Chain A
Amino acid sequence: MQTSKFSLVSGANIDKQSFLARTLEYGETLGQIDSENSEIFSEDIAALAHKLITMKVADLSNEADLREQIQTAFALTSLGLEFGSKGNLTKAVGVLLGNPIVKFFQIGNTLTDKLLKRGSRIFEQAVVQPPESLDHLDLDTIRIYNHAEAEFLDVLNTYCTTIRSAQVTIKEKHQPRTITNLSDIEIIRQQLDYLEARCTYVEALPLEDLFSIDPPLSIAIDPIQTLTLSLMANLTLYYQPDFQLEANTLTDFRDIIYDETSDEIRAAPRQRLLDWIAQYLEQDNQSEDIISYTVAYWDSCIQEIVNHKVDIGIYL
């Protein structure tokens, strides 16, 4: 479908895979949406996108900014329609004919706005700040999220996502794409839950000496994974909940936790570690959700040390 009336939106196409496009097509098949209706919908959504552009874009000659707003208008309207019809195409045709198109945009906007705000809050606040007593050292903060997660949070601001499923730690990321389906919303919500749970887990740890660790955690590729592996290694080797790694500790830890002959993680030391963190968080009165996420996170960290058996130095 092509829109034409508003020059800034001319030539824009509604994604054929979107729920909105599928609803229009289904309505035509049913004979409920005729060419006149279809034309009206096109004009209305073009007007909506045009309005969004003039409201949001500072430089109208910036094609990328125009495209972004057009995508946002289409995507939020489609999401709103999918939510309002509970994903039922027959109902979607009915509600599309019964309500102004801006209503669906508002639903989509409400749905995504909460996520965007949560994402921004995590992006800004999911860091460990150095204590005031160390202000004079000008230390960097320690991020709770890794680079792939930072990118996920960053593009979320533009109604885009880089993931196709929620992951305990984002490792598999894709090119940013516009959020088009309610399933995307669910995945993003789950991912944000995970990131918030990680924050709570980190805050529950004894962080007093965190900024005296050498080398500083702030320079690690994934600071919390490094911190967790250090803690696990010290617990396994010295029975001490310490974050500072001595020479060879991580290598020795890997030798204990990983059986190279069978290429498997050894069940007993793995379970001891998972039980330790579960008990630690229980004693800290953390919720079941936080405990189960953290246990899964610890498990993924153990897996990581096996995956990177060749280059263990990346954690140091």
Chain B
Amino acid sequence: MSNQKLVIPQSEAKELLSLPTREAEQLFQSYEKEQQLEIIRATRNPKQREELYYLVPDCTELIQDSPTEDVLQVIDTLLGTGLACGLLPCLSNEQFEEIMDIAIWKDGKIDENSLSLWLFELSECEREDLSRFLNQIDMRILAGLLKNRIKLKGSLGALMIEEGIIDPNSTSIDCKDDQAKAILNAIWEADDTLFTQLLRQMFAIDKEGDAETELVTALEKATAERAERVKTRDSEAGIKITESDLKEHVDLDSLNLAEEEEGDADK
């Protein structure tokens, strides 16, 4: 027989949030993990949900067992402040990839503002965490984001990339804005191999076609792969509707709707 205490999640959450921190921590930690998750799930205000996560010494497990959209909602309240780096390291790689597949895409296209915001937030994380997350972000997407903001100067740039001896402070790299420079610096500090890979992707080093065409093709592939991942995850969650379904238009003049007659439903 289970020795779990009976709790009503909504009222329990209310009580926890009204208690002094120490008492709230003791009470929250007295629950089984499933009960804690239930209390968190029942709390619809993301700021309050964030407070509940902090009632345990390490909320990694709770974060990783929460619905991804719920976690993203909490992170969204912190995005742009640099404070999300307290929670971001708790995400599993799969969860981070899932979050990226939602957060940096709008209407099936990359949302550059959101991606920039996320990269800024990530750059505030420990270099080890940043490296882990950067490896989860599709390199083609990063290259797409930065392609118009970073240019290669002089004839030596491509050679330096090819040899892997380039860094963000190289005179061959021309950043159009400070944010692009900060992103490049963060990537370099987190993982120099990744940094070189990114530049190779951006400037289509070793590729036969021109950089612009290569990048467009790469982005199309990344978009298709992301759509497939989203579809698989949705299907597992019982969501049969796809983004393409929601964008589809119908011919209003030749609608052909099936109609179930009375009694058919019982058959």
Contact = CB atoms under 8 A, between A and B. Distances in A.
B246 A98 contact: no
Interface of A: 5, 7-8, 10-11, 30, 32-34, 37, 43-44, 47-48, 50-52, 54-56, 58-62, 83-84, 91, 94-95, 97-100, 102-103, 105-107, 109-111, 113
A91 B258 CA distance: 10
A44 B239 CA distance: 8
Given A106-B249, A110-B249, A51 B234 contact: yes
B106, B107, B239: residue with the most chain A Cβ atoms closer than 10 Å: B239
A109 B249 contact: yes
Q: Which 10 A-B pairs have the closest CB atoms?
A: A98-B258, A97-B260, A94-B259, A61-B76, A98-B260, A60-B73, A61-B77, A110-B249, A47-B239, A95-B257
A107 B241 contact: no
B6 interface: no
Contacts of A10: 44
Interface string B36-48: 0000010010110
Contacts of B108: 55
Contacts of B241: 44, 47-48, 51, 102
B238 interface: yes
Contacts of B111: 58
A5, A55, A105, A110: residue with the most chain B Cβ atoms closer than 10 Å: A55
A106 B239 contact: no
6 contacts: A58-B111, A59-B79, A60-B72, A84-B255, A91-B259, A99-B257
A61 B46 contact: yes
A60 B243 contact: no
B43 to A, nearest CB: 10
B76 to A, nearest CB: 4
B185 interface: no
Interface residues of B, number: 43
A86 B234 CA distance: 33
B252 A8 contact: no
Nearest to B245: A102
B246 A55 contact: yes
A7 B252 contact: no
Contacts of B265: 32-34, 37, 97
Given A55-B106, A107-B252, A47 B245 contact: no
Given A94-B260, A102-B246, A7 B69 contact: yes
B106 A95 contact: no
Contact of B70 (A7, A91, A103): A7
B252 A60 contact: no
Interface in B216-267: 234, 238-243, 245-246, 248-250, 252, 255, 257-262, 264-265
Contacts of B260: 32, 94-95, 97-98
Given A54-B69, A60-B73, A109 B246 contact: yes
Contacts of B102: 54
B257 to A, nearest CB: 5
A47 B240 contact: yes
